[in-house]
Amino acid sequence: MSIVTTSLTMHVQEADGGEQRTRAESDVGPADTAKSGQDVPEAWRSKRFRLSVIATAVILAAGAGFGAGRAIGLGDNVVLTGIPRPATANTAFIEDDDETGQDNQANILSSTALGMVHILSGGTSVGIGLVLTESGKVLTTYQPAAGAADLAAEYVVSRMTFKAKVIGTDPAAGLALLQLAGGNGRPFSTVEVGNSATLVKSTEASRQSSYHVPGEVYDTAVGTSGIQTALTLDVGTLVTLNTTVTVGRTSRSGLMASVLQSAAPSVLGGPLVNLNGQVIGIIVGGSGSGLQVVGYAIPINTALEVATRIVDGKSWPFPPS
């Protein structure tokens, strides 16, 4: 198995200030066409495979209490405060009788969905956040202004809302770290992080006991819009591990590029996950349309390093004005 690691430069839409959007087909330039002209994997042309794997919109019909136990904590718990490190355990995906698609969806709902939040400014949704620690540290692509007030985070699943304040931002990385309040010493629900450096190896191991297409690394872009109790799941394949693109006005290197199966503006700012539902990246931009959509993500290993720098005070406290 091999993954292309060559770099290229192109302009893509970014996840900034909660504006979750993708370019229309008429906006795709020559460079976009060259990059996103990936063929749909042969197995995805099979109706049976497509129905079992691709879920373009999953509405979480659970009541407000779903996930609330984890959100507020139960009993006497030791609340973890440190930024997590990339997963070190074997993360090979094991498929059961439900087939890949249903297993993937179930893993996302149990490992990622419970830790996703809507970032709110003055009650208006401005982006997606990922709760990294039980103490309530939230990583987001939303870049708050200096002295930002009236910030909050609403859990997508449980709909529980907590006030938030800015710990700091890293403008170069396009990430910010917020702190939730009101947990009363009990653990907040968190996402489960994976390891972006071991994707290929984990997929090789999975193929020995699952129905993976040889040479393909599957991933899923998870998104949400507004303050809905809903998620979008856009399944794709990883095609590069180290791409340089222009996101907004900034050239960014070291991004993961994935060919997705549909245009899903709601995924901007959201997590890119492996088949086990673990976060392996954060979507920061995208280009293309139809079956020619490419999503770009900061690898989770890099994002966790940025979060640690922010906590240690080694990043700008706020974006320069």
The model's pLDDT over 210-227, given as tens digits with 9 standing for 90+, comes to: 666 767 888 999 999 888
Asked whether residue 169 falls in the same domain as residue 86, the answer is yes
Domain residue limits at 100: 68-191+305-311
289 located within any domain = yes
- ∠ CA 292-106-191, rounded to 5°: 85
Asked whether residue 219 falls in the same domain as residue 294, the answer is yes
Structural contact between residues 160 and 199, judged by C-beta atoms closer than 8 angstroms: no
Least confident of 136-140, 206-210, 269-273, 304-308: 206-210
DSSP 52: H
Asked whether residue 178 falls in the same domain as residue 75, the answer is yes
pTM of the model: 0.79
Q: E-assigned strands of the chain? A: 11-14, 58-59, 116-121, 124-131, 137-140, 151-155, 161-170, 175-180, 218-223, 230-247, 250-260, 271-273, 279-287, 293-299
Single-letter code of the amino acid located at 152: A
Asked whether residue 121 falls in the same domain as residue 174, the answer is yes
Structural contact between residues 286 and 22, judged by C-beta atoms closer than 8 angstroms: yes
Structure tokens at 236: 């794709």
CB atoms within 10 A of CB 141: 29
204 located within any domain = no
For residues 192-198, average pLDDT: 93
Structure tokens at 9: 């430069």
- pLDDT of 298-311, one tens digit each? 999 999 999 999 99
Helix (H) or strand (E) holding 33: helix 30-36
pLDDT at residue 304, rounded to an integer? 97
Least confident of 89-103, 132-146, 160-174: 89-103
CB atoms within 10 A of CB 226: 11
Q: What distance lies between CA 154 and its chain's CA centroid?
A: 17
206 located within any domain = no
For residues 92-105, average pLDDT: 74
Whether the pLDDT of residue 35 is over 50: the answer is no
Counted domains in the chain: 2
pLDDT at residue 203, rounded to an integer? 77
198 located within any domain = no
Asked whether residue 182 falls in the same domain as residue 280, the answer is no
